């Protein structure tokens, strides 16, 4: 058995331990069943084409066995889905750096939707964030090169680069929610930096002018990384020490990350042993249940999870589990719908393979992939409100119009969450009071 590592993010590749086995071969193998899908004939065809190219192609410098084999593997993997990828030495090295929570780039989390390269979220305090790039913006050109026929992994490779290098992006910002409506095209020139992946961005009690007498905690998770469980534990302990009576967990624009971190985050609010998410693939080895573990339990206070159409992967796992198990109320919009498992294998020699091997399912066996997790209470927001939320967190200098927009902004989804929590607490208090009232009994002399 060889060690595979499972990932659920978009731009940065994160890993979690999982075991899976694959037979990888070059040329012919005695284990290949010649009767299955004409494997012998087609493997022979691939070999013949490689030899023909080596003998006849005009530019001999481009036809080494390594170049042709790598090109073939890249084509094979990219033809399967946007998330499967052959990792050459450079890509595999980048992936390994990503797992350490630091990489060189722009701070853009990107994905493919309707064959278009879109921004899932700009990471805070990064070049992309400071440039005002917003979730839902389409990247139509990278340094003048159209992204129309780029694969997701190919686009990511173009976006990455050395610290200090400049890059020009041509962006399309949709106008309204109608994809047929022409949007605004703009350009952004960014300089690549070392990106440090953040997880818990805010942990605080909401102001009393919003919550009244209720002590409502608020935690925003930007994504799931190595340190997320520890940061979450510290944030919860801090808020509980301040007398938190209810919690709002904000997963809006959270693109995912480490599977283990997402499972541990959900597990903080669930009993040990509870199934949080399961995977199902073509073989029994690809089917697995991830359960809550640990001994410390947090109080059973009411929880609301905020989600939107850019909450993806790990965020969908947490939201789906807490919803299915009745531990939280989901407010916002249906999530992105990225619920497939990518297993990464080290093939030796500095190369690797990322392959979609299974799909994720919530505890009630609902699929996430290409469907998403719907909210319990729908609370859509406008593009202007979305932009205002991002601007409010920006550390760059705002224009006068932007300052006015932020000043007059209301986070209607957050306000809806506070109202829902108030209703839950009132209902719970009434139920508790009713249970404490015992029926009067009379004695018969």
Active site positions, annotated: 313, 324, 338
The C-alpha atoms of residue 15 and residue 343 are separated, in whole angstroms, by 9
Cβ–Cβ under 8 Å, residues 77 and 357? no
To which H or E segment does residue 122 belong? Answer: strand 116-122
Cβ(46)–Cβ(72) below 8 Å: yes
Q: Is 195:174 a contact under the CB 8 Å cutoff?
A: no
Contacts of 369 (CB under 8 A, 6+ apart): 337, 338, 339, 340, 359, 360
Q: Confirm if 327 and 335 have CB atoms less than 8 A apart.
A: no
C-alpha separations of 169 from 145, 157, 172 in Å: 9, 14, 10
CB 111 within 8 A of CB 120: yes
User: Which helix (H) or strand (E) element contains residue 288?
Assistant: strand 288-291
Cα angle value 8/13/16 (rounded, 5°): 60
Tell me the C-alpha distance between 135 and 138, whole Å.
9
Instruction: Name which of 332, 333, 305 is nearest 321 in CA terms.
Output: 305
Contact between 414 and 248 under an 8 Å Cβ cutoff? The reply is yes
225 φ/ψ sector (left φ>0, alpha ψ -120 to 50, else beta): beta
């Amino acid at each position: 058995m060889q060690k595979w590592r499972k990932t659920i993010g978009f731009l940065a590749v994160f890993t979690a331990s999982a075991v899976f086995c694959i037979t990888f071969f070059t040329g012919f193998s005695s284990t290949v069943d010649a009767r299955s899908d004409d494997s012998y004939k087609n493997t022979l065809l691939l070999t013949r084409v490689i030899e023909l190219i080596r003998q006849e192609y005009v530019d001999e410098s481009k036809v080494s066995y390594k170049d042709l084999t790598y090109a073939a593997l890249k084509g094979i993997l990219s033809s399967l889905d946007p998330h499967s990828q052959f990792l050459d030495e450079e890509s595999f090295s980048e992936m390994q750096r990503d797992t350490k929570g630091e990489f060189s780039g722009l701070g853009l989390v990107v994905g493919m939707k309707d064959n278009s390269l879109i921004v899932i979220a700009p990471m805070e305090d990064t070049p992309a964030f400071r440039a005002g790039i917003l979730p839902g913006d389409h990247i139509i050109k990278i340094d003048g090169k159209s992204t129309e026929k780029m694969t997701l992994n190919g686009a990511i490779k173009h976006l990455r680069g050395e610290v200090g290098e400049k890059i020009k992006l041509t962006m399309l910002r949709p106008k309204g929610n109608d994809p047929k409506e022409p949007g605004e095209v703009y350009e952004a020139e960014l300089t690549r930096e070392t990106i440090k992946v953040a997880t818990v961005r805010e942990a605080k009690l909401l102001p009393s002018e919003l919550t009244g007498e209720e002590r409502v905690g608020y935690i925003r998770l930007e994504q799931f990384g190595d340190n997320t469980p520890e940061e979450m534990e510290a944030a919860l302990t801090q808020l509980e020490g301040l007398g938190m009576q209810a919690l709002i967990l904000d997963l809006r624009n959270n693109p995912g990350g480490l599977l283990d971190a997402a499972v541990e985050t959900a597990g903080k609010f669930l009993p040990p042993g509870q199934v949080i998410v399961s995977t199902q693939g073509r073989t029994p080895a690809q089917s697995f249940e991830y359960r809550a573990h640990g001994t410390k339990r947090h109080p059973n206070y009411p929880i609301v999870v905020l989600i939107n159409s850019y909450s993806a992967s790990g965020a969908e796992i947490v939201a789906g589990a807490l919803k299915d198990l009745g531990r939280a109320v989901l407010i916002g919009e249906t999530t992105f719908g990225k619920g497939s498992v990518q297993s990464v294998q080290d093939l030796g020699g500095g190369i690797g393979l990322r392959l979609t091997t299974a799909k994720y399912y919530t505890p009630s066996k609902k699929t996430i992939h290409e469907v998403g997790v719907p909210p319990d209470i729908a609370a859509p927001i406008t593009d202007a409100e979305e932009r205002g939320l991002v601007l409010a967190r920006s550390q760059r200098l705002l224009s006068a119009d932007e300052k006015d927009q932020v000043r007059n902004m209301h986070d209607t989804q957050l306000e809806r969450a506070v109202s829902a929590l108030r209703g839950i607490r009132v209902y719970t208090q009434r139920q508790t009071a009713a249970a404490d009232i015992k029926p009067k009994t009379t004695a018969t002399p």
